[in-house]
Amino acid sequence: MEAINIALFGLGTVGAGVVNLLQENANELASRAGVRLNVTKALVRSAKKARGCDSSHIAFVDNADAILNDETIDVVVELIGGTTDAFDIIEGALKAGKPVVTANKALLAERGTELFALSCETKTPLLFEAAVAGGIPIIKTLQEGLVANRIEWIAGVINGTCNYILSTLARTDAEFDDVLAQAQAQGFAEADPRADIDGIDSAHKISLLAAIAFGTQVDFAHVDCEGIANLSRVDTDYAGDFGFCVKSLALARRCDNGELLVSVSPTLINKSHLLASVSDEMNAVMCQTNMLGPSFSMGRGAGSLPTASSVVADLVDIVRHRENAQRFALIHPVVTADAGFSEDALAKNASPYYVRLRAQDKPGVMASLTQVLAGAKISISSMVQYPLDTQTVDIVLLTHMTTGQAVSQALGSLSTKMSEIDELVHYRVADFLY
């Protein structure tokens, strides 16, 4: 049987998963792809490191050209991460006419325009299923399965590390840093885990999904992005009392005024909603489209084998389309049309909000709060007071529909006016999910 020779740039968590998967499912893959998929070369930083897979058949090289100039290599898989060396590798591979598979969402969100253009110019495929939601085939779903639909919105829990942290904190007394360390030990986190907890990784991913779904470039640097580092356990507990759980939710949505909203933020989701049941490193993506209506995909969003599942799916696609690679290379997210992406769409777009105010328990605090909200035309739908001790109280409320802008301004003016206030937080409630 014919064999395809694959070179891996990077043999860490995902790279080892690819080697293990190709070994474990070799026979199924050979019959489905019609060829054998062999990893023959790899570039890593340290050739001496233990690899978490059988690498005895792989020749380790110490420079990229040893792969890019090797005519026996048919396909390149980039799994080193980062936006510099990885860019050079993919650029070099495409120029050499070698199809590329990558899981590198940071690179594609930040510098994808150049690489996708090069892929079109060189008529060489650049595939990236693993870059969003790990093992869930969401890129293929959007590019192929939903191609006949107009997408209204996409909402996703698309960072395994954040979801692992939030769901572990919700069911145990563990500390944030310890749970993050567990996520790192299991290979879910980025090399710099601040990319996960600050929401940047989700922002990379939702930018890519929005580009595909809405046919536009989304300037990643301007995606409205709030992480989970400042989310306090009291807020997840109080949200629970109101019937919600808090998820790091990525959203790409066409607003009523036509603007395209792309955001990542801690968001309250009704406990009975499917997205609320997504726990640990699981990811889920929900799409609302004009013909199918709602659809929901769930699966492991991080980790060695789930991510390898998507990488190898791309390899099989490349093999299946190799007679027609030039056409295949044209399936890309970047279209230059202006789809109305707006940096402040989140703040302007109406939603209910969760608000918590921690204050000294003195007469007038509640009156000032309700007065300020009324002045901003923010209507309260429910409110509970949680005394913390004899002197301090948490006042927690849910609003009816309002805007983030109105809530921020009202709370800002309240904290300037009242020295009794210690903390003020607000989070969006995802009312549009069904």
Report the catalytic residues: 205
Segment 293-322, which members bind ligand HSE (CB under 6 A)? 301-302
**Whole-number Å distance between alpha carbons of 132 and 283:** 10
Among the listed residues 74, 78, 129, 196, the single contact to ligand HSE using CB under 6 A = 196
**Whole-number Å distance between alpha carbons of 362 and 355:** 19
Q: Which does 45 bind (CB under 5 to 8 A by kind): ligand NDP, ligand HSE, none?
A: ligand NDP
Q: Which residues, in sequence order, are bridge partners of residue 43?
A: 9, 61
Q: Does 142 bind ligand HSE (CB under 6 A)?
A: no
Q: Does 103 bind ligand NDP (CB under 6 A)?
A: yes
Q: Does 289 bind ligand HSE (CB under 6 A)?
A: no
Q: Is the dihedral of CA 90, 91, 96, 99 positive or negative?
A: positive
- Least distance in Å: CB of 407 to ligand HSE? 29
**Whole-number Å distance between alpha carbons of 124 and 433:** 39
Q: Is the dihedral of CA 101, 104, 245, 252 positive or negative?
A: negative
**Cβ–Cβ < 8 Å for 256, 340:** no
| Part of the chain binding ligand NDP (CB under 6 A), chosen from 188-196, 241-249, 263-271, 383-391 | 188-196
| Part of the chain binding ligand NDP (CB under 6 A), chosen from 41-49, 170-178, 288-296, 347-355 | 41-49
Among the listed residues 74, 78, 198, 201, the single contact to ligand HSE using CB under 6 A = 201
Pairing of strands 3-9, 224-225: unpaired
Among the listed residues 74, 78, 129, 190, the single contact to ligand HSE using CB under 6 A = 190
Per the listing, tokens 């069911």 go with 171
Q: Does 129 bind ligand HSE (CB under 6 A)?
A: no
Q: What is the number of other CB atoms lying within 10 angstroms of the CB of residue 207?
A: 29
Q: Which does 196 bind (CB under 5 to 8 A by kind): ligand NDP, ligand HSE, none?
A: ligand HSE
Angle at 264 between CA 263 and CA 265, to 5 degrees: 120
- Least distance in Å: CB of 182 to ligand HSE? 12
Per the listing, tokens 């026979």 go with 27
**Cβ–Cβ < 8 Å for 45, 62:** no
Residue spans of beta strands (DSSP E) within 73-133: 75-78, 100-102, 126-127
- Least distance in Å: CB of 47 to ligand NDP? 7
What is the residue-wise DSSP string for 103-145? --HHHHHHHHHHHHHHHHHHT--EE-GGGTTTTS-HHHIIIII
Q: Which does 12 bind (CB under 5 to 8 A by kind): ligand NDP, ligand HSE, none?
A: ligand NDP
Q: Does 99 bind ligand NDP (CB under 6 A)?
A: no
Task: State whether residue 432 is helix, strand or coil.
Answer: coil
| Residue 68 DSSP code | H
Q: Does 303 bind ligand NDP (CB under 6 A)?
A: yes
Per the listing, tokens 């955001």 go with 263
Supply φ then ψ for residue 27, to 5 degrees. Answer: -70, -45
**Cβ–Cβ < 8 Å for 189, 288:** no
Write the binding mask 120 to 139 for ligand NDP: x where contact by CB under 6 A, - elsewhere: ----------x---x-----
Encoding tokens for residue 218?
């989304």
Q: Does 81 bind ligand NDP (CB under 6 A)?
A: yes
- Closer Cβ to ligand NDP, 5 or 186, answer by number: 186
**Whole-number Å distance between alpha carbons of 225 and 202:** 9
Q: Does 202 bind ligand NDP (CB under 6 A)?
A: no
- Closer Cβ to ligand HSE, 51 or 300, answer by number: 300
Q: Is the dihedral of CA 72, 77, 83, 87 positive or negative?
A: positive
Q: Does 235 bind ligand HSE (CB under 6 A)?
A: no
- Closer Cβ to ligand NDP, 14 or 142, answer by number: 14
Among the listed residues 10, 17, 112, 134, the single contact to ligand HSE using CB under 6 A = 134
**How many alpha carbons lie under 13 Å from residue 414 in its C-beta half-sphere?**
30
- Tell me the number of residues near ligand HSE by CB under 6 A: 11
Q: Does 63 bind ligand NDP (CB under 6 A)?
A: no
- Least distance in Å: CB of 309 to ligand HSE? 12
Among the listed residues 81, 125, 160, 199, the single contact to ligand HSE using CB under 6 A = 160
What residues line the site for ligand NDP (CB under 6 A)?
10-15, 43-46, 49, 79-81, 85, 103-104, 130, 134, 187-188, 190-191, 302-303, 307
What residues line the site for ligand HSE (CB under 6 A)?
134, 159-161, 188-190, 196, 201, 301-302
